[in-house]
Structure 1
Amino acid sequence: MCGFIGYINGTHPINHKQVIENMMNTIIHRGPDSGGIHADDKVTLGFRRLSILDLSDVANQPLYSEDGNIVLVFNGEIYNFMSIRKELEAKGYHFKTNSDSEVLLHGYAEYGFELVHKLRGMFAFCIWDQKNDLQFIARDGFGIKPLYYTQNTTDETIIFGSEIKSFLPHPSFIKELNKDALRPYLTFQYSAMDETFFKGVYKLPPGHFMVIKNRKIQQITKYWDKKYSASKGSIEETIANIRETVAESVKAHQISDVKVGSFLSGGIDSSYIAALLKPDKSFSVGFSDYEAMFNETHHAKELSDILGIQNERKYVSAEECFDALPKIQWHMDEPQSNPSSVPLYFLSELARKDVTVVLSGEGADEIFGGYEWYKPSAKMQKYEQIPLGLRKVIAGVVEALPKNAYTNFLKKGAQTIEERFIGEAVVWDEQDALDVLKPDYKKGPSVHDITKRVYAEVPNEDDVTKMQYLDLSLWLPGDILLKADKMSMAHSIELRVPFLDKEVMEMAKKIPTEHRVNDIDTKYALRQAALEELPEEWAKRKKLGFPVPIRHWFREERYYNLIKEAFTAEYAKEFFDTDKLVSYLDAHYAGDKNYARYIWTAYVFLVWYKCFFIDDNKWTTLKGTSHDEVASTTHN
């Protein structure tokens, strides 16, 4: 696990080694163990290393082919690197390291762009092919590892790398807010477009590679997708396939030359991974003063005792969370208001005291159908027996009535799944978001502008599969995986996700819909498979998520005043009707309504904006050469 930054040299003369050094310093938390630079007259590359496999200096990056013509910077892990290595050795290639990185070098020399089809892992990399004068840049199929790029520069420089913040020290980079990003963010709670909150900075989509030649992006190509192709089979066959494939994935994901632990909540996903891994230690986080309401750590401790694992726990206070929020948003690069980012930050900090690698349960809900959204209510199923035309008439009638649970139900009952479901996260009602935004920020795409392109890829699937595919395409890489990467890397720790494995997905694609979600349960087949490793209480426990007591915090005078100060700040008036923002805060503080998510999402954006556009000099450069020095600079 590491981080890299690179650029195609522009037309302005600059000191490339000094510039890339400054850029590397902003992501030193991703790789505190060592750094390396490649600079020539066309391309400049910088790398920060967190040593996981082959801890020797010979595995440091940038890594070069034997003839020096191919240069690699790579972030992630290739879990099938040994089988690829044997294949390449049989073809006459010689390896000087025991790392997975070298497989990419020789693999590209042998297979070219087809290399990506062979890889099983989480990765983002750049290969500089000097002989053919091209850059080959790729990202894993799920988007576990982030990868950004931009041409928004003053001199044709093209910049790419693991984190946007590393673009900022480049003298040609044009730092500008993308006004179109705020509108969809308020509803989604994360940056849902390919273009980020920085104008002209894009995310390379998961499962895509990019080729740059002659300072031009020549192609962006999709090489793998996650579309389901369910086949018929018994539930017994499905359960057996899940058990075998997930167990093998956990085995592959535990390969490491450093200590490996496990994040553990009380839910089935992380519990199943921990039960298969059986690490020495598991790690859990709860909240001070809310142990009875927002706490799964007792479940984690109980399961750890059953499995014979030592469980390390931490209880986080509201004060700690609010104090850390600017640092969290700085690490996130873009505003991200999923409240679970906060405990994940502290969970990673806790784990880093004992291990360098952790396994976690992300992805099981999206792949196996775990969200309650996916399971239609009995009432809705019954209502949908009424002809659609009549339901639309009823929806038209109630449109003029005040919003409540009944009118919402009747309106949803007249909608297709494409109209009704925009993803796992829904925060601001879209009309409420438009009402609170200033005119310049209402011009961004609607949520349906964003979701319709995904739905268009699976027009003939059933509703459950359509919802899963949407979440796999938007919510998973945009929210779940981004915060997992950024919060773990903030503390120089590698987070691995065995459910999000190429072989697991290929198996899961074939699972019949009724084995994923049915009238009995969500994630039905996975729960049955987990019974072999877990007590029934854990295998069948309903999903709780990672609840954070923000609605209670906002009713404390201290935090009410803190947020009101942000909502009424002069810079907030650029984006929001601040009187309306404060009215939501006041109504919540008085206990009249629960507007916690509205408040948090707007507040997080303002915290992020202040970090990057007002207090940016404070965050631009972070220095340090060891993990302890990085931690003291980044986290104090």
Structure 2
Amino acid sequence: MCGIVGFVDKTMLNKKPVINDMMEMIKHRGPNSSGEYVNDEVALGFRRLSIIDLKGGSQPILNEDKTKAIIFNGEIYNFQPIREELIAAGHTFTTHSDTEVLLHGYEEYGIEGLLKKIRGMFAFLIWDDTKKELVGARDFFGIKPMYYYHQDGMFMIGSEIKSFLKNPKFKKELNPEALRPYLTFQYSALDETFFKNVFRVPEGHYFTLKDDKLTIKKYWDVDFKANHLSLEDTINAIDKSISESVDAHRISDVEVGSLLSSGVDSSYITSVLRPEHTFSIGFDDKKYHEGIAAKELADHLGLENKSDVVTAQEAFKNFPLIQYHLDEPDSNPSCVPLYFLTKLASKDVTVILSGEGADELFAGYANYGWHSHSKAIRVFAQGLKKLPRGARVSIAHGLKRSPNFHGRLHLYEATAPAEEFFIGEARIFHEADAVKILQPAFKRSETVEQIVTKSYKKVRHYDDEVKKMQYLDIHQFMPKDILLKADKLSMANSMELRVPFLDKEVAKVAEGIPTKYLLNSKDSKYALRMAANRHLPDAWARREKLGFPVPVSAWLHDEDIYKEVRDLFAADFAAKFFDQAAILKLVDDYYNNVGPDDNRRKIWTVYTFLVWYKVYFIDNEKPEFIPDKNKQTATVQA
């Protein structure tokens, strides 16, 4: 696991000090060593966190005749058999690293042939000095980040946007169109980031840059096509794929641990991996302490569990640092516990396995159609799903117009076309409400409908609404929020976080599972839970999804924190973006228990943006970590 950065510029004469400054900005991604490749046209920089081939895996790595150079962030889990193929084909290796396999694989198979063969998480760059061409790729799901900036003959690319700030030709500007959709989605939802002219290489895509012409091409996508396996065969296939994926993801020359929450996803991974170390996190509000349940499971499995408590003071004092590491504002409250959880784990291990991706591949979100605890309503909804599409849509439209009753939302979402109600696994401000609080200069952007339609158009032939929702989340919420925070906040603490659910072989299994085995009257993620039940007690296999529960409401009702938030809302610069009277009323009313409880997420989303903006456009420096001096050492009793 590493950080990579590079730029192509034929006019810059002294590239080495610039690439070194850019690398220094992402030192946290690779504190063990660094390296660079520089010539008249290109500069490639690399920061290393040593995981595999500890003595010989330094980068950049060059091929035999020194005409190609590679830098790589990630892990290739099947690199060893590919290495043997390449040796048999006549390639000479100087290391035992997966990085060199990518380089020789590119020579042997070409970029598309290589991408068909490999299994893993990756973002890599290869400079071909013979062709004067830069080639790069991002993994299937977007586990590893890759950003680029292409202006006036300068092309920059890297793991984190902050590294671009050290290139004198980078023009730092706020993208005004990013704010409006962010208020709805809670994350940076556009292809262009919050930094003007900085874009992401999309998940499952590779690019080539030659003669200043950039070409980006898709090489992989998820494709849901239901098979005809029985439920038992489906459960067998899931468990086999997960077990094999965990085995692949345990490959390392350093110790591997796991993150453990109270949910089924991380519990399943942990029960298969059986690591020496597991880690959990909670808050000083006891309603939000996952460590208690996690320790019970660790004791049941005979594993060590380390747990810590995050205090409100720790969370707020270090929230600017968290937003700094994310590069863009992300108001998902789980960013806070994830940062502190990886900080805790970094004291004992360098690699951790986690449960991201299971909800998207195996239909675990309530918004896919799990809004009622009434079994009768769930059974009735399951029956409605079997009706012809026209009948389902007609029923949905009737339910939408009808007065509210218990189960109405569940029945509506079981029958309505996904495009009519689902924008992804988050909706903070309704679009009209977001527009009301924004200043005119920030009201112009793609609409929410335009953003999600890009994904829905690709699956318009699907007759299964749940599969449409899964596809949208796989291309919006997962890479732009879930995986982004998993990568950035683990790397902030120099940790490699691996996600065994997001393996292309696991995806092959998930693609074929009929929705009736995933979301039905019995449970969400039903078949996955049944597979997990082979390794876990019933209580854990069937535990209701919580995510990372975070006490945002309690924080906003704390007088000191309320004043801190209010002061930021009242700051002069906040008036540039928002109707200040409106956002001050929002926070005042909530503190005084006026208005709906869901306003806490709206306040948190506005607050997050203002904190992020202050870090990157006012303070212009990395915040320091601030410990809570009054914190007591946490212990968790099973």
Q: Distance in 2 between matches of 1:265 and 1:305?
A: 14
TM-score by length of 1: 0.93
**2-structure distance, mates of 1:364, 1:383:** 26
Q: Distance in 1 between matches of 2:582 and 2:398?
A: 33
> Any idea what the Cα deviations from partners look like across 1:259-279, whole Å, max 9, x if unmatched?
110000011100011111111
Which SS does the other structure have where 1:499 is aligned? Answer: coil
Q: How does 1:136-147 map to 2 (within 5 A)?
A: 136-147=135-146
2:119 is aligned to 120
Q: Distance in 1 between matches of 2:229 and 2:555?
A: 49
Question: Secondary structure of the residue that 2:124 maps to in structure 1?
Answer: strand
Q: Count residues in correspondence.
A: 612
Q: Deviations over 1:46-95 (max 9, x none)?
A: 10000000001x32101100100010000000000001111111111121
SS of residue matched to 2:306: strand
Displacement after TM superposition at 1:409 (Å): 8.7
Residues in 2 aligned to 1:190 and 1:354: alpha-carbon distance in whole angstroms: 31
Equivalent residue, structure 2, for 1:555? 557
**Counterpart Cα distance in 1 of 2:408 and 2:436:** 21
SS state at 1:225 partner: coil
Alignment-derived partner of residue 8 in structure 1: 8
Q: Per-residue deviation at 1:383?
A: 9.1
> In 2 relative to 1, CA 504–408 (structure 1 residues): closer, same or farther, beyond 3 Å?
closer
CA spacing shift, 1:393–1:346, aligned 2, 3 Å: closer
Cα distance in 1 between the residues matched to 2:192 and 2:323 = 18
Q: Say whether residues 1:225 and 2:221 are aligned partners.
A: yes
**Residue 264 of structure 1 corresponds to which residue in structure 2?**
260
1:517 match: 519
Q: Residues of 2 paired with 1:410 and 1:511: CA distance?
A: 23
Secondary structure at the residue paired with 1:151? strand
Match for 1:90 among 75, 85, 88? Answer: 88
Letter in 2 for 1:137: G
Name the CA distance, whole Å, in 2 between partners of 1:220 and 1:24.
25
State whether residues 375 and 519 of structure 1, in contact with CA within 8 Å, keep that contact through their aligned partners in structure 2: no
Match of 2:308 in 1: 314
Aligned equivalent of 2:633:
none
Q: Percent identity?
A: 50
The one-letter amino acid paired with 1:86 is E
Q: 1:193 — aligned with what? A: 190
Report if the CA contact (8 A) 1:188-1:427 is conserved.
Answer: yes
Corresponding position of 1:297: 291
Cα distance per residue 1:189-244 (max 9 Å; x no partner): 01111110001000000000000001221x21100001211111100100111111
Q: Partner of 2:443 in structure 1?
A: 442
Say whether the 8 Å CA contact 1:419–1:448 is kept in structure 2. Answer: no
Deviation at 1:570, TM superposition (A): 0.6
Question: Offset at 1:573?
Answer: 0.6
| Aligned residue among 240, 245, 266 for 2:241 | 245
2:201 matches 1:207? no
Q: Distance in 2 between matches of 1:62 and 1:2?
A: 11
**Residue in 1 that maps onto 2:279:** 283
Q: Confirm whether residue 598 of structure 1 aligns to residue 602 of structure 2.
A: yes
Alignment of 1:416-455 (within 5 A): 416-455=417-456
Name the aligned partner's letter for residue 370 of structure 1: G
The DSSP-based 3-state class of the residue aligned with 2:561 is helix
Q: Aligned partners of 2:409, 2:120: CA distance in 1, in Å?
A: 42
Could you list the per-position Cα deviations for residues 300-351 of structure 1 after superposition, in whole angstroms to 9, with x for gaps in the alignment?
1011111111100000000000011111001000000100000000000000
> Which SS does the other structure have where 2:459 is aligned?
coil
1:544 to 1:393, Cα distance in 2 relative to 1, 3 A: closer
In structure 1, distance between residues paired with 2:23 and 2:579: 39
Match of 1:42 in 2: 41
Measure, in 2, the Cα distance between the counterparts of 1:224 and 1:393.
39
CA distance 1:36–1:438, shift in 2 (3 Å): same
Query: Which amino acid is the alignment partner of residue 611 of structure 1?
Result: V
Distance 1:59 1:310 in 2: 31
Given residue 186 of structure 2, which amino acid in structure 1 is its aligned partner?
Q
CA distance in 2, matches of 1:472, 1:479: 11
> Matched residue of 2:69: which SS?
strand
Q: Give distance in 2, aligned partners of 1:303 and 1:178.
A: 46
Distance 1:95-1:315 versus aligned 2 partners, 3 A rule: same
Aligned to 1:500: 502
Give yes or no for contact 2:393–2:417 (8 Å, CA) kept in 1.
no
Q: Structure 1 CA distance, aligned partners of 2:504 and 2:408? A: 43
SS class of match (1:59)? coil
RMSD (Å), alpha carbons: 2.3
Shift in Å, 1:375: 2.4
Give how far 1:96 is off: 1.3
CA gap 1:408/1:508 in 2 versus in 1, 3 angstroms: closer
Q: Which amino acid aligns with 1:337?
A: S
Aligned in 2, Cα 1:409/1:375: closer, same or farther, shift over 3 Å? Answer: closer
Tell me which amino acid in the other structure corresponds to 2:254. Answer: V
CA–CA distance in structure 2, aligned partners of residues 408 and 469 of structure 1: 21
Q: 1:368 aligns with which of 362, 365, 369?
A: 362
Post-superposition CA distance 1:544-567 (Å, at most 9, x none)? 110100111101111111011111
Distance 1:390 1:466, change over 3 A: closer
| Residues 501 and 467 of structure 1, relative CA distance in 2, 3 Å threshold | same
* Mapped contact 1:395–1:414 kept (Cα < 8 A): no
What displacement does 1:440 show?
1.1
Aligned residue number for residue 578 of structure 2: 576
Query: Alpha-carbon deviation of 1:416?
Result: 2.8
Any idea what SS the aligned residue of 1:123 has? strand
Contact preservation (8 Å) 2:10, 2:40: no
What residue number does 1:29 align with? 28
Q: Secondary structure of 2:71's match?
A: strand
Letter in 2 for 1:73: I
| C-alpha distance in structure 2 between counterparts of 1:434 and 1:173, whole Å | 30
CA gap of 1:261–1:409, structure 2 versus 1, over 3 A, is: closer
Residue aligned with 2:544, SS: coil
Judged with a 3 Å threshold, the aligned counterparts in structure 2 of structure 1 residues 119 and 387 are, in CA distance, closer, same or farther, namely closer
Match runs of 1:309-348 below 5 Å: 309-348=303-342
Amino acid at match of 2:490: S
Instruction: In structure 2, give the amino acid aligned to 1:160.
Output: I
List, as ranges, runs of 4+ consecutive aligned residues in structure 1 with deviation greater than 6 Å: 382-387, 403-414
Secondary structure of the 2:166 match is coil
Structure 1's 390 and 98: CA in aligned 2 closer, same or farther, altered over 3 A?
closer
Q: CA deviation at 1:396?
A: 6.6
Q: Distance in 1 between matches of 2:71 and 2:549?
A: 37
What one-letter code is carried by the residue in structure 2 that aligns with 1:479?
A: D
CA distance in 2, matches of 1:491, 1:547: 21
Aligned residue in 1 for 2:630: none
Write the distance in 2 (CA, Å) between the matches of 1:180 and 1:6: 27
One-letter amino acid of the structure 2 residue matched with residue 89 of structure 1: I
Q: What CA deviation, in whole Å up to 9, does each residue of 1:90-126 have, x standing for no partner?
A: 1111211111111011001101122111110000000
1:97 aligned counterpart, secondary structure: coil
420-429 or 586-595: bigger deviation: 586-595
CA contact (8 A) 2:396 2:413 kept: no
1:130-209 matched pairs, under 5 angstroms: 130-152=129-151, 155-209=152-206
Look up the SS of the partner of 2:581 in the other structure.
helix
2:634 is matched with none
Query: Following TM superposition, by how much is the alpha carbon of 1:492 offset from its aligned partner in structure 2, in angstroms?
Result: 0.3
Corresponding residue SS for 1:486: helix
Pair 31,404 (structure 1): closer, same or farther in 2 beyond 3 Å: farther
Contact 2:4-2:47 at 8 Å conserved across structures: yes
Whether contact under 8 Å (1:123, 1:145) holds in the other structure is yes
Mark the CA change 1:343 to 1:390 in structure 2 (over 3 Å): closer, same or farther: closer
Give the whole-Å Cα distance in 2 for the aligned partners of 1:342 and 1:46.
Answer: 30
Distance in 1 between residues matched to 2:410 and 2:369, nearest whole Å: 15
Deviation at 1:460, TM superposition (A): 2.5
